């Protein structure tokens, strides 16, 4: 199974840690979204897309890249994200975007992660130390389950 993991991460590189754990677990190719053009997306059996959540949305660089991507109808995709506080919308909005592009959506992984945005900085942030070892183990289990290796 040929898998590509595409991510955007900048606040505390939380999403990058999740992306790297997933990629290492199954030997997937991995790229920050800025370099997606170096990869032939159509040649992958599965593509995973993830970013932090910023103002209740995935990073625009990630959603723009998905909108511009050339997909084989029915190609498999999954999403992942990290956030300060979970709301159900995170899975839904990305699922809808991927489906609108013709992807067959096979899963979603989300985790709380270190967040010092705005006033949270004044209290030292929330979710300190996350993603932690358990979060990374959960990410590895997730990708084994969805990709099946």
The contact set with ligand FMN (CB under 6 A) reads 9-16, 52-56, 82-85, 113-115, 117
**Most distant pair of Cα atoms in the chain: their distance:** 47
The residue nearest ligand FMN at its CB is: 52
If you write DSSP's letter for every residue of the chain in order, what string do you get? Answer: --EEEEEE--SSSHHHHHHHHHHHHHT-EEEEGGGGGGS-GGG-SEEEEEEEEETTEE-HHHHHHHHH----TT-EEEEEEEESS--THHHHHHHHHHHHTT-EEEEEEEEE--B--GGGGGGT-BSTT-S-HHHHHHHHHHHHHHHT-
In the bound state with ligand FMN, the residue whose beta carbon lies nearer, of 25 and 115, is 115
Tell me whether residue 4 or residue 81 sits nearer to ligand FMN (CB atom): 81
Q: Tally the residues of the chain.
A: 149
Closest separation in Å from C-beta 58 to ligand FMN: 10
* The residue to which tokens 């990629």 are assigned: 23
Q: Which is nearer to ligand FMN, 13 or 26 (CB)?
A: 13
Closest CB 1 distance from ligand FMN, rounded Å: 25
CB of 68 to ligand FMN, least distance (A): 21
Q: Measured from the CB of residue 49, what is the shortest distance to ligand FMN in angstroms?
A: 13
Residue nearer to ligand FMN on the CB measure, 28 or 53: 53
As measured in angstroms, the least distance from the Cβ of 135 to ligand FMN is 11
Decide whether 55 or 73 has the Cβ nearer to ligand FMN. 55
């Amino acid at each position: 199974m040929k898998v590509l993991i595409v991510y955007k991460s900048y606040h505390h590189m939380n999403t990058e840690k999740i992306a790297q754990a997933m990629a290492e677990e199954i030997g997937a190719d991995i790229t920050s979204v800025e370099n997606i053009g170096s990869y032939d997306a159509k040649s992958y059996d599965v593509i995973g897309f993830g970013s932090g959540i910023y103002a209740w949305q995935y990073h625009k660089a990630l959603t723009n890249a998905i909108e511009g991507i050339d997909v084989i109808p029915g190609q498999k995709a999954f999403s992942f994200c990290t956030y300060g506080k979970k709301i159900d919308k995170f899975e839904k909005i990305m699922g809808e975007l991927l489906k609108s592009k013709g992807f067959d959506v096979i899963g979603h992984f989300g985790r709380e992660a270190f967040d010092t945005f705005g006033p949270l900085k004044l209290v030292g942030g929330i979710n300190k130390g996350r993603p932690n070892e358990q979060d990374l183990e959960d990410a590895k289990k997730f990708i084994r389950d969805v990709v099946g290796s």
